[in-house]
Chains A and B, each alone.
Chain A
């Protein structure tokens, strides 16, 4: 059975802290791994990763994929209150997407 597992389930940090969110997966026919940020409503796309070891970066956010160990991490440095959200990891297998349950991040001023 294909599955995606995210950890931790929730996290509370202070502004300025650095956080690491984890996503592990077991799927057949892996094509890519995607990270989304979900605030109050619709998830918004952050990164897509297809190759191991190549870091994707956007401002204070970065992500990397390890296809041998079947996981990805999402790092957020110098966190801000606007980073508070649920972060979703999804694996694309060609026709289907499998989502993890998400990590709820709360950044306290």
Chain B
């Protein structure tokens, strides 16, 4: 019973590098989302998807790309990492946009130096 799986758990990047954070869910959920969590800022929505082939921007989308080619996977791409993107990233899924109870992955702690 995997739920939402995020990889990697930890990552250190140099400024300007690119990388992809992986997120997969096995609950056949339509709605998936990415958040970043910073001290004193709470969880902020980066991008979300209401189904395969459909993505949209959240509160803080700049510097990140997403795609949703399958129901199960929702990767987050950092195009050119900056120190301001140092954060803990969470992926979440829920049944659909009308059922908001979200299941979260265990998080990825990203440090950009």
Contacts and interface: CB of A to CB of B under 8 A. Distances in A.
B102 A88 contact: no
Nearest to B41: A101
B91 to A, nearest CB: 9
Which of A4, A99, A100, A102 has the largest number of chain B CB atoms within 10 A?
A: A99
Contact of A88 (B40, B42, B105): B42
Contact of B100 (A31, A88, A99): A31
Interface string B82-113: 00000000100000010011111111000000
Interface residues of A, number: 22
B100 A95 contact: no
Nearest to A34: B100
A41 B5 CA distance: 13
B33 interface: yes
A108 B77 CA distance: 41
B106 A96 contact: no
B45 A97 contact: yes
- Counting contact residues on chain B (CB < 8 A from A), the size range is 20 to 34
A92 interface: yes
A4 B45 CA distance: 13
Contact of A32 (B43, B58, B100, B105): B100
Which of A32, A96, A97 has the largest number of chain B CB atoms within 10 A?
A: A97
Given A4-B42, A96-B58, 7 more contacts: A31-B100, A42-B90, A43-B90, A94-B97, A95-B56, A97-B102, A100-B42
Interface of B: 4, 33, 35, 40-45, 48, 50, 56, 58-59, 90, 97, 100-107
23 contacts: A31-B100, A34-B102, A41-B107, A42-B105, A42-B107, A43-B43, A43-B90, A43-B102, A44-B104, A45-B101, A45-B103, A92-B100, A95-B48, A95-B56, A96-B45, A96-B58, A97-B33, A98-B59, A99-B42, A100-B42, A101-B40, A101-B41, A102-B42
Interface of A: 4, 31-32, 34, 41-45, 48, 88, 90, 92, 94-102
